[in-house]
Amino acid sequence: MATGRRPFFCGNWKLNGSIAESLALATDVRNGVSTLRDVDVAVSPSFTALYAVAKRLEDGPVTVAAQDCFWEEKGAFTGEVAPAQLVDVGCKHVIIGHSERRQLFGELDAAVNLKARAALRAGLSPIICVGETLAERDAGETIGRVQAQLDAALVDIDDAGLERVVIAYEPVWAIGTGRNATPAQAEEVHRFIRGRIGTRSASVAAAIRILYGGSVKPDNIADLLAQEDVDGGLVGGASLSAPSFIQIVQAAHGLQAAHGTQATKG
Ligand code: PGA
């Protein structure tokens, strides 16, 4: 975490929760983080609970992210949801290119780019996920894979758009496995991503938030956040329990307080 970038945490609830359960979790999260003014927090319920959760969190500090979107605005696309529809239900962000979408639903880099551009056009902030598989890491291809995903995702996004993008580095082997990347492994890739963005714009690279995702827990977040280029987390399993998600956010707040910083809103 560096001064000048507000930490950001998004709880990715994946395919979990009725409307009532989602409302209860969202309310607990809001109540637990509402005094932590130096950290940005979002939750990402299933599509079915987005509207109710967004209404419940309206005007509060916690924002709402969808887990996916389509790139067309309307038409004969059965089952798809347009970015403007997500804005309509109260979303501020949308997760794009999560490894589960890439691996289980065949989502390709080109689709990730189309979705990110459509999200930006609609006024959403895309949280674009990149990350290598274990086989790619073992083959020494981590940086190459992340570079390819990042470059493809950002095609035809100008600097004004890039300023509204959040990147999530999520090594596939760390997601839901209980095996997080070490802080040094995370930092190596985060630093690479920031440098890569810096080849386009130094100011955007300095401001863009790069989240780590993959088995983030209350007991490993502080070491991850101690890294210069780790600006927060995309949190799956540990975000399904309000106390553990709140503890994760509190860790960032504690570090901010220790730095004595009041980073400006990014
Ligand atoms: P996890 O999931 O925290 O359960 O590993 C992270 C993610 O998939 O975004």
pTM, two decimals, is 0.96
Helix (H) or strand (E) holding 66: strand 62-66
Tell me which residue has its CA closest to atom 7 in ligand 1: 236
Hey, what's the torsion of the CAs at 81, 85, 90, 94, to 10 degrees?
40
Helices 142-153, 183-198: inter-axial angle, 10-degree rounding: 40
138: exposed, middle or buried (C-beta count within 10 Å: 0-12, 13-18, 19+)? Answer: exposed
Distance 14 CA to ligand 1 centre (A): 9
Q: Which of 100, 107, 132, 170 is catalytic?
A: 170
Catalytic residue among 98, 100, 132, 187: 98
Q: List, in order, residues 6 or more apart from 245 with CB less than 8 Å away.
A: 9, 11, 29, 32, 235, 238, 239
CA 44 – CA 95 distance, rounded (Å): 8
CA distance 171 to 182: 11
Pocket-testing residue among 234, 239, 240, 245, ligand 1, by greatest number of atoms within 8 A of Cβ? 234
Residue whose CA lies nearest to ligand 1 atom number 1: 236
Give the residue among 207, 223, 226, 205 at the shortest CA–CA distance from 215. Answer: 223
Nearest of 18, 22, 25, 39 to residue 243 by alpha carbon: 25
Q: Provide the residue-wise pLDDT of the chain in tens; the chain has 266 residues.
A: 888 899 999 999 999 999 999 999 999 999 999 999 899 999 999 999 999 999 999 999 999 999 999 999 999 999 999 999 999 999 999 999 999 999 999 999 999 999 999 999 999 999 999 999 999 999 999 999 999 999 999 999 999 999 999 999 999 999 988 888 899 999 999 999 999 999 999 999 999 999 999 999 999 999 999 999 999 999 999 999 999 999 999 999 888 877 765 554 44
Tokens representing 186 are 């995370």
The alpha carbon of 223 and the centre of ligand 1 are apart by a number of angstroms equal to 17
What is the position in ligand 1's atom list of the atom closest to the CA of 129? 9
Q: Residues with beta carbon inside 6 Å of ligand 1?
A: 12, 170, 175-176, 213-216, 234-238
- Percent of the chain past pLDDT 90, that is, above it, reads 90
CA of 196 to the centre of ligand 1 (A): 24
- Looking from the CA of residue 180, the nearest atom of ligand 1 is 5
Catalytic residue at 98? yes
- Does 190 qualify as catalytic in the annotation? no
Query: pLDDT tens, 162-178?
Result: 999 999 999 999 998 88
